């Protein structure tokens, strides 16, 4: 994708498509007012006839508007005047993009960036535009046979700015948006691939390929024998029933010399059958998405590398398949983690934490400035927060606040959740140092408390993304979340945000 910024009026630029907006009660946005004036009142006429509406979600594509240099004018409804915020801005850009996705338009000029949007400046408006367009244009067709659909012709996004002085901010926003969109798209691809393709070895290959030819990025992959040597009995207990070999994927991006790195840890369960505590059959296919934590940290690393951030970031992915078999771990088995703590595996379906605890212990060697693990960890999190926000846990209130803020400004939102000794008590075991499940009630919280037993001495946060990582139903597919939230966090740490 190519980007440009322009101060020229909506009607004056010869592009394939300009996007303008109208509000409720016929109030024209900046771009729409200009188009209306240039076309002798055409927009107002269409508003009167009802063919154009200010209602949010409404859209009309107008061809060959007289007095306007662009081939197409897309008019989107922006809702009540004065109410536009980053979220409704992104929705409006998505609506406009969907309306022209089937056309042959190669360039779009987004004039919605001229509207007043609460809490967003030219940087964020450019970034949100690029991310939103990319989100809508994303297709996953690599597993379909037959004639491949022609690639989308759209290859240029223009960003209208009010004054020359905004050009640098908008350009940087577009660049960052481009990097984040690439990371989101990679995370979606990895999530959408079936488990017979996206195995632990496949994830390792993708991580290696990302690093090849990039002097700042390196990838190392540990095999099961090496993990055994490190004492990762917990992680290895999850792969005990699987034929696919487990991998520990370690990526290091050095953009800032010898600074302490931020370490991102991902749950990479490439398929979660539940193991001997087998899941019910209905909807089990969606457990191919149980590696979306891994996909998001690898995707974030791709974004970081593309944006060439001046910061150190490491990624640690525990990649395993959770399968039942004669060699699988049984309920009641006791395993020893790399930390030395023993775990009674009361339910083999609570496997994510068994993988993450050893990955977190491994992360200590990097003396992280902060470590954030990302996991589709519990169905209970979906009950608590639905599919709108991920859960944010931390042993450090400042870190929790920082991640919460990153979610808000990137429009990839989470919500702070509690931890504490009362919840941790639920993990007591009569036979080992702890059990891997916390009984009824607060399932997402007790899972976080389990991980908290492996993070002593580190600034640690945990994102339970079970509700946000993918969509079900007719829209079934990975979302690429929380790549935008994590990227925002790293951009902020790199002091590159306005
Ligand atoms: N991968 C699942 C969590 C999950 C379930 C995410 C459904 C999204 C949708 C995880 O490994 C799991 O099975 N968790 C169990 C834990 C329980 C056994 C304590 C769960 O949530 O049921
Ligand atoms: Mn499970
Ligand atoms: Zn799982």
The model's pLDDT over 63-119, given as tens digits with 9 standing for 90+, comes to 999 999 999 999 999 999 999 999 999 999 999 999 999 999 999 999 999 999 999
pLDDT number for residue 437: 98
- Catalytic hit among 169, 188, 353, 481: 353
Residue 13 has pLDDT above 90, yes or no: yes
pLDDT number for residue 496: 98
Ligand 1 probe mutation, 234, 350, 445, 468, most atoms within 8 A of CB: 350
Provide the domain limits for residue 298.
182-493
Mean pLDDT of 439-454: 98
Q: Note the pLDDT tens digit of each residue in 257-309.
A: 999 999 999 999 999 999 999 999 999 999 999 999 999 999 999 999 999 99
Note whether residue 177 is domain-resident: no
CATH label of the domain that carries residue 73? 3.40.220.10
Q: Which ligand is nearest to the CA of 274?
A: 2
Same domain, 364 and 281: yes
Same domain, 45 and 131: yes
Same domain, 38 and 99: yes
Note whether residue 469 is domain-resident: yes
Instruction: Show which of 110, 130, 163 is a domain's final residue.
Output: 163
Same domain, 117 and 203: no
Note whether residue 170 is domain-resident: no
CATH label of the domain that carries residue 224? 3.40.630.10
Our answer on whether the CB atom of 380 is closer than 6 Å to any ligand 1 atom is yes
Note whether residue 368 is domain-resident: yes
Q: What atom in ligand 1 is closest to the CA of residue 438?
A: 19
Same domain, 485 and 370: yes
Q: What atom in ligand 1 is closest to the CA of residue 352?
A: 11
Note whether residue 169 is domain-resident: no
Structure tokens at 297: 């940290």
Q: How many Å lie between the centroid of ligand 2 and the Cα of residue 350?
A: 5
Our answer on whether the CB atom of 464 is closer than 6 Å to any ligand 1 atom is no
Our answer on whether the CB atom of 290 is closer than 6 Å to any ligand 1 atom is yes
**Nearest residue (CA) to ligand 1, atom 5:** 379
Our answer on whether the CB atom of 331 is closer than 6 Å to any ligand 1 atom is no
Q: How many Å lie between the centroid of ligand 1 and the Cα of residue 356?
A: 14
Number of domains in the chain: 2
pLDDT number for residue 189: 98
pLDDT number for residue 7: 98
Q: What percent of the chain has pLDDT over 70?
A: 99
Our answer on whether the CB atom of 272 is closer than 6 Å to any ligand 1 atom is yes
Q: Average pLDDT of the chain?
A: 98
Structure tokens at 407: 């979610």
Same domain, 475 and 416: yes
Q: What atom in ligand 1 is closest to the CA of residue 446?
A: 19
Opening angle at CA 236, ends 231 and 237, nearest 5? 115
Same domain, 136 and 209: no
Instruction: Show which of 130, 163, 196 is a domain's final residue.
Output: 163
Same domain, 248 and 323: yes
Q: Note the pLDDT tens digit of each residue in 40-58.
A: 999 999 999 999 999 999 9
Our answer on whether the CB atom of 379 is closer than 6 Å to any ligand 1 atom is yes
- 438: Cβ contacts below 8 Å, ≥ 6 apart: 423, 426, 427, 445, 446, 447, 449, 450
Note whether residue 220 is domain-resident: yes
Note whether residue 33 is domain-resident: yes
pLDDT number for residue 151: 74
Does the active-site annotation cover 279? yes
Same domain, 217 and 282: yes
- Catalytic hit among 27, 80, 91, 279: 279
- 3-state secondary structure labels for all residues of 401-469: HHHHHHHHHHCCCEEECCCCHHHHHHHCCCCCCEECCCCCCCHHHHHHHHHHCCCCCCCEEEEECCCCC
Q: Which ligand is nearest to the CA of 438?
A: 1
Q: Which ligand is nearest to the CA of 347?
A: 1
Same domain, 339 and 274: yes
Residue 26 has pLDDT above 80, yes or no: yes
Q: How many Å lie between the centroid of ligand 2 and the Cα of residue 320?
A: 12
Q: Which ligand is nearest to the CA of 465?
A: 1
Q: Note the pLDDT tens digit of each residue in 392-402.
A: 999 999 999 99
Same domain, 155 and 283: no
Note whether residue 171 is domain-resident: no
pLDDT grade, residue 144 (50/70/90)? Answer: very high
Same domain, 123 and 66: yes
pLDDT number for residue 146: 80
pLDDT number for residue 244: 98
Handedness of CA 380, 140, 185, 172 (dihedral sign): negative
pLDDT number for residue 380: 98
């Amino acid at each position: 994708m190519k980007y440009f910024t322009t101060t020229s009026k909506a009607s004056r630029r010869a592009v394939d498509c300009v996007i303008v907006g109208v509000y409720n009660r016929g109030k024209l946005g900046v771009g729409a007012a200009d188009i209306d004036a240039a076309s002798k009142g055409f927009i107002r006429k269409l508003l009167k006839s009802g063919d154009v509406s200010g209602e949010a979600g409404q859209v009309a594509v107008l061809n060959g508007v007289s007095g306007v240099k662009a081939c197409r004018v897309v008019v989107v409804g922006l809702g009540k005047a004065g109410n536009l915020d980053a979220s409704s801005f992104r929705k409006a850009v998505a609506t406009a993009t969907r309306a022209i996705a089937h056309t042959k338009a190669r360039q779009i000029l987004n004039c919605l960036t001229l509207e007043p949007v609460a809490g967003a400046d030219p940087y964020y408006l450019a970034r949100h535009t690029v991310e939103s367009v990319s989100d809508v244009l994303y297709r996953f067709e690599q597993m379909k046979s037959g004639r491949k659909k022609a690639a989308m012709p759209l290859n240029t996004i223009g960003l209208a700015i009010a004054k020359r002085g905004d050009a640098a901010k908008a350009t940087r926003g577009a660049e960052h948006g481009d990097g984040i969109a690439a990371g989101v798209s990679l995370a979606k691809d990895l999530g959408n691939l079936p488990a017979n393709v996206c195995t632990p070895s496949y994830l390792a290959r993708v991580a290696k390929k990302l690093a090849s030819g990039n002097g700042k990025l390196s990838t190392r992959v540990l095999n099961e024998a090496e993990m055994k040597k490190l004492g990762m009995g917990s992680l290895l207990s999850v792969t005990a029933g699987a034929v696919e070999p487990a991998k520990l994927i370690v990526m290091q991006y050095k953009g800032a010399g010898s600074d302490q790195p931020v370490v991102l840890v991902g749950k990479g369960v490439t398929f979660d059958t539940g193991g001997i505590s087998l899941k019910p059959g209905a909807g089990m296919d969606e457990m191919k998405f149980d590696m979306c934590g891994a996909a998001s940290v690898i995707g974030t690393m791709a974004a970081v590398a593309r944006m060439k951030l001046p910061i150190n970031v490491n990624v640690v992915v525990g990649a395993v398949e959770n399968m039942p078999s004669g060699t699988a771990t049984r309920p009641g088995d006791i395993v020893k983690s790399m930390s030395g703590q023993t775990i009674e595996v009361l339910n083999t379906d609570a496997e994510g934490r068994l993988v993450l605890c050893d990955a977190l212990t491994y992360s200590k060697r990097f003396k992280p400035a902060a470590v954030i693990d990302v996991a589709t960890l519990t169905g209970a999190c979906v009950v608590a927060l639905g599919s709108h926000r991920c859960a944010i846990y931390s042993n450090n209130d400042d870190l929790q606040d920082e991640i919460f803020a990153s979610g808000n400004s990137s429009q990839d939102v989470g919500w702070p959740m509690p931890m504490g000794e009362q919840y941790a008590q639920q993990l007591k075991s009569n036979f080992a140092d702890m059990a891997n499940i916390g009984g009824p009630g607060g399932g997402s919280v007790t899972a976080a408390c389990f991980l908290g037993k492996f993070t002593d001495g580190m600034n640690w946060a945990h994102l339970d993304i079970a509700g946000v990582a993918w969509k079900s139903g007719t829209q079934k597919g990975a979302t690429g979340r929380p790549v935008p939230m994590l990227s925002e966090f790293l951009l902020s740490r790199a002091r590159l945000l306005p």
